[in-house]
Amino acid sequence: MQLNKDQKIQLVKKLTQKAKDAKSILIMGFKGTKNADLQALRKKLRENKIEMSVVKNSLLRRVMENVGFELTKENTQVPLAIIFSLEDEIAPAKIVVDASRENQNVIPISGIFEGKVVDARYIAELAKLSSRDELYTKLVATIKGPITRMQNVLRYNLATLVTVLNNKIKQ
């Protein structure tokens, strides 16, 4: 779809605002990726409340400059997509790295995490981290474990006391 100058300006403003509001931003190359694979990736991202936009590299370069990040010439040799996560910082990295394992044409290039510019190696390391839900589950299990053990000890001692008292009564 061909955009006129005003539409391009509005698109850059919209994407710049999303980039400023996002907890993390990921830039992904997708040259040679089939449309069906790209749509499947979009769907997976949407399920995790993550937005993906495919725009011309010149517009993407302007958006990234507006948030203080410069795309190099090497990075803009392939078609790029920008991915915004408003909730979970690590989820985009996990999803894109998983997609890149399945499809060699999907390439995480760079991103912004916690206000720092990161490269593809850092994104791959982020993808290895546990997700937020996994970490919450581990935290709850860690807190619940001692409480459950204490409950079992108290329940066992109480059951033993009741048995001893019942035996005394029967005698």
What's the half-sphere exposure (Cβ side, CA atoms, 13 Å) at 122?
Answer: 13
The answer, yes or no, to whether residue 38 has pLDDT greater than 80, is yes
Query: Which range is least confidently modeled, 4-8, 47-51, 70-74?
Result: 70-74
Residue 73: DSSP 8-state: T
Domain boundaries, the chain: 5-129, 130-171
Asked whether the beta carbons of 50 and 95 are under 8 A apart, the reply is yes
Average pLDDT for 157-171: 79
Helices marked H in the chain: 5-21, 35-47, 57-66, 91-102, 120-128, 132-170
Q: What is the spatial distance between Cα 130 and Cα 138, in angstroms, rounded to a whole number?
A: 10
The answer, yes or no, to whether residue 14 has pLDDT greater than 90, is yes
Fold of 5-129: Alpha-Beta Plaits (3.30.70)
Task: Give CA 65 to chain center in angstroms.
Answer: 23
Q: What is the spatial distance between Cα 14 and Cα 9, in angstroms, rounded to a whole number?
A: 9
Taking the model in full, what pTM does it have?
Answer: 0.74
The answer, yes or no, to whether residue 73 has pLDDT greater than 70, is yes
Q: How does the average pLDDT of the chain come out, rounded? A: 86
Consecutive H or E run containing 107? strand 107-113
Average pLDDT for 15-38: 90
Average pLDDT for 80-109: 90
Q: Given pLDDT bands bounded at 50, 70 and 90, which one contains residue 83?
A: very high
